[in-house]
Chain A
Amino acid sequence: MQEHIQIDDNKQINNDLLSGVLSWPKWHLAAASFLALVIATGLGAYGWELNKGVGVAGINRPVYWGFYLANFVFWIGISHAGIMVSAILRLTQAEWRRPVTRAAEVLTLFSLLAALSNIFFHLGRPWRAFWIQPYDFARGIWPNVRSPFVWDPAAIGTYLIGSSLFVYVALLPDIAVIRDKSKGKVAKTVYGVLCLGWRGTPRQWKLQAVSGILLSALVLPVFVSVHSIVSWDFAVQIGVEGWHSTIFAPYFIIGAIHSGVSAVAMVMALMVWMWKGYDKYIRPDHFDAIGRLLIVVATTWFFFFALEFIYAIYTLEEPELALRELQVLQWPYGFLFIVFLLSSYFIPIPLWLFKNVRKSAKWMFWTTILVNIGMWLERFLIIIPGLARRQAFTFDWGTYHPSIIEILLVAETFAFVALGILVFSKVFPLVPLFDVKEGMVFRDEIKVGRITVPASIRE
């Protein structure tokens, strides 16, 4: 049974959910300064790499792809959950979605930007990145459409534009509220322009409701295509045994959902702790619901992981067996493999079976962090051992050790996403005001026998 929010007053909802926008929480500046420092350090490291060349990273022959690419796949994965959680819950009209969707969508935006930055870290000459665009009318040299590295920007670009517009359209009514509540003339003007003169007519509300469903339906297929295409960066290569697999697309998608939904649960816990008043809207029942969803997602992901692994060794082909031996039994990959399995499945799943764990923000926070440590390692274990294995016609057998530059840049992406959400929360509410208010309109109580239970009316 869902617990219901005990507030009826729209004013109270505005005050609670706009507290971070209309005032400065004390911890905000300190947290932002720390994150900015980590980002500045990362940018310094990137400057060093630009100056000295990509050789300052730990990648070498034959391990050409390292931390940057593992981190790229990780952030693409995280970016999936936002829209997935938001879109699926909107389409199915799940009541518990209301306070969760905005944070999930915003997580998508900043994760995608973080993923994109990893591509630039990895490029030897990033100033030529625009060559991927079909622009060269003078020389007549055009990008090769048959390359997965042209598919990637097409898919990620579509997803980034689509999810940004998705967030913006859903923000319009809330920007109008901030316009009305702002004191300063500049803020009033800026929010007034941003909300495009929203007034809240029945036509605007109807279009808002239809757009939520229509855009969800349009963004969902894009979300599926993006991680499929990212997986094809690996799967279409015939030279690396561990990568050349037809199961990669669905396996990557479900892995992305697993890590992404976990990240949304983690952000929910942070919202409850860090923003005053948010605990009235993000209730233990919301954690319970996302915990139950996670059990299903994690188990489906584990099924795909097991399929990928079992089919690989079922062939009994020598190179494939050698790769799996390297992945599972040899130091340090074997140790990382155990940590990956424990943290992404075998520790969190038994814990999530208990309702008390699922309802606790603290437990959900730590278990979902564990999942994401595991899922980061999963990407690492797919990419690096696949390349590091000694093969015929490989005459350089360097191993891979991440350099301090790579570690700083990976840390930078995490700080970037955290700071992005923090800055967003200062400018816009992280919980959609109109969605919460709509929930109030539809809320009711019904008497069944001798008890009265909360209910939600649907048109």
Chain B
Amino acid sequence: MAKRSVLGLFTNEDAAADALDSLKGAGYTSSEYEVLTDTPYPEGTFGEAEPVHKLFRWPLIGAVCGFIVALVLTSGTQLAYPMVTGGKPILSIPPMTIILYEGSMLGAIIFTVIGILLESRLPRLFMGAYDTRITDGYIGVTVTTEKNKVENAEQVLKDAGAEDIKRGWE
């Protein structure tokens, strides 16, 4: 069933935090509501659950992949065209190390960025209930839930002091 979302706009942090408390009290789970801001507030400012992520695994996996690709490229190409230059061995470790290092770092960086986007739940095709005033400093509290629970969520947000209410769909 398609979900519906509702957004309440607040002008200060305390009111937004109260709204979250009220939503919790009304039986909404932490996966159903979110705070939207244009500023990175300290964690837990609004009493929201601490986001859990596994970003630190991504660079490690990327580095291993990058290292393997660089190893195949450096050793494979030299073995495929085994021309001795400057009396050095075909698989000359010191120069290979440079390419292996760069390959590992490139893999780590690319995987980290992919990890950042996926862990941030991006790209997001549908914005749901959203208002451009959020980037002007308003604090948005959005509830994404089943259609029959939206009315109640809207009332909770109004009661908590939302300046404006908007609806959207996921």
Residues of A at the B interface (CB closer than 8 Å) are 9-11, 14, 134, 140-147, 150-151, 154-155, 157-158, 161-162, 165-166, 168-169, 172-173, 176-177, 180-181, 196-211, 214-215, 218-219, 221-222, 225, 229, 433-434, 437-438, 440-441, 459
Chain B 95-123 interface mask (CB, 8 Å, partner A; 1/0): 11011011101101110110011011111
Query: CB < 8 Å: which of A9, A140, A198, A438 contacts B39?
Result: A438
Q: Specify which chain B residues have a CB less than 8 angstroms from the CB of A205 in the assembled complex.
A: 37, 40-41
Is B1 part of the contact surface with A, judged by Cβ < 8 Å? no
Contact A142 B109 (CB under 8 A): no
A165 to B59, CA, bound (A): 14
Show 16 residue pairs from A and B whose CB-CB distance is below 8 angstroms, ordered by the A residue. Answer: A10-B137, A11-B136, A142-B78, A143-B77, A146-B92, A154-B103, A155-B98, A162-B106, A176-B38, A196-B122, A197-B127, A199-B130, A204-B122, A207-B51, A208-B120, A215-B113
Contact A208 B40 (CB under 8 A): yes
Smallest distance from the beta carbon of A5 to chain B beta carbons, Å? 14
A151 to B38, CA, bound (A): 42
Interface stretch, picked from B81-89, B145-153, B154-162, is: B81-89
Contact A145 B77 (CB under 8 A): yes
Query: CB < 8 Å: which of A142, A151, A196, A204 contacts B95?
Result: A151
Q: Specify which chain A residues have a CB less than 8 angstroms from the CB of B105 in the assembled complex.
A: 158, 162, 218, 221-222, 225
Give the top 9 A-B pairs by smallest Cβ distance, nearest first.
A197-B124, A10-B137, A142-B77, A180-B132, A196-B123, A203-B51, A205-B40, A437-B39, A196-B122
Interface residues of B in 42-94 (CB under 8 A from A): 42-43, 46, 48, 51, 53, 55-56, 59, 73-74, 77-78, 80-81, 83, 85-86, 88, 92
Is B15 part of the contact surface with A, judged by Cβ < 8 Å? no
Query: CB < 8 Å: which of B38, B102, B130, B132 contacts A154?
Result: B102
Contact B109 A165 (CB under 8 A): yes
Given contacts A11-B136, A146-B92, A218-B59, whether A155 and B102 have CB atoms under 8 Å apart is yes
**CB nearest to B79 among chain A residues:** A142
Q: Specify which chain A residues have a CB less than 8 angstroms from the CB of B137 in the assembled complex.
A: 9-11
Is B125 part of the contact surface with A, judged by Cβ < 8 Å? yes
Contact B85 A144 (CB under 8 A): yes
Contact A10 B38 (CB under 8 A): yes
Given contacts A143-B77, A146-B88, whether A200 and B38 have CB atoms under 8 Å apart is yes
Q: Specify which chain A residues have a CB less than 8 angstroms from the CB of B77 in the assembled complex.
A: 134, 142-143, 145
Contact A219 B80 (CB under 8 A): no
A453 to B117, CA, bound (A): 39
Q: Specify which chain A residues have a CB less than 8 angstroms from the CB of B95 in the assembled complex.
A: 145-147, 150-151
Smallest distance from the beta carbon of B5 to chain A beta carbons, Å? 11
Q: Specify which chain A residues have a CB less than 8 angstroms from the CB of B39 in the assembled complex.
A: 10, 200, 434, 437-438, 440-441
Given contacts A154-B103, A165-B110, A203-B53, whether A177 and B98 have CB atoms under 8 Å apart is no
Contact B40 A438 (CB under 8 A): yes
A176 to B136, CA, bound (A): 11
Query: CB < 8 Å: which of A151, A202, A433 contacts B35?
Result: A202
Question: Contacts A145-B95, A146-B86, A222-B105 given; 9 further ones with Cβ under 8 A?
Answer: A140-B81, A165-B113, A197-B125, A199-B34, A202-B41, A206-B43, A215-B109, A218-B112, A438-B39
**CB nearest to B91 among chain A residues:** A145
Is B9 part of the contact surface with A, judged by Cβ < 8 Å? no
Q: Specify which chain A residues have a CB less than 8 angstroms from the CB of B29 in the assembled complex.
A: none
A28 to B42, CA, bound (A): 38
Contact B85 A146 (CB under 8 A): yes
Smallest distance from the beta carbon of B11 to chain A beta carbons, Å? 11
Is B135 part of the contact surface with A, judged by Cβ < 8 Å? yes
Q: Specify which chain A residues have a CB less than 8 angstroms from the CB of B43 in the assembled complex.
A: 202, 206, 459
Q: Specify which chain A residues have a CB less than 8 angstroms from the CB of B56 in the assembled complex.
A: 214
Interface residues of B in 5-49 (CB under 8 A from A): 34-43, 46, 48
Q: Specify which chain B residues have a CB less than 8 angstroms from the CB of A147 in the assembled complex.
A: 95
Q: Specify which chain A residues have a CB less than 8 angstroms from the CB of B103 in the assembled complex.
A: 154, 158
Smallest distance from the beta carbon of A435 to chain B beta carbons, Å? 9
Q: Specify which chain A residues have a CB less than 8 angstroms from the CB of B83 in the assembled complex.
A: 144
Contact B78 A434 (CB under 8 A): no
Contact A206 B35 (CB under 8 A): no
A155 to B124, CA, bound (A): 33
Smallest distance from the beta carbon of B44 to chain A beta carbons, Å? 9
Given contacts A14-B136, A207-B55, whether A202 and B38 have CB atoms under 8 Å apart is no
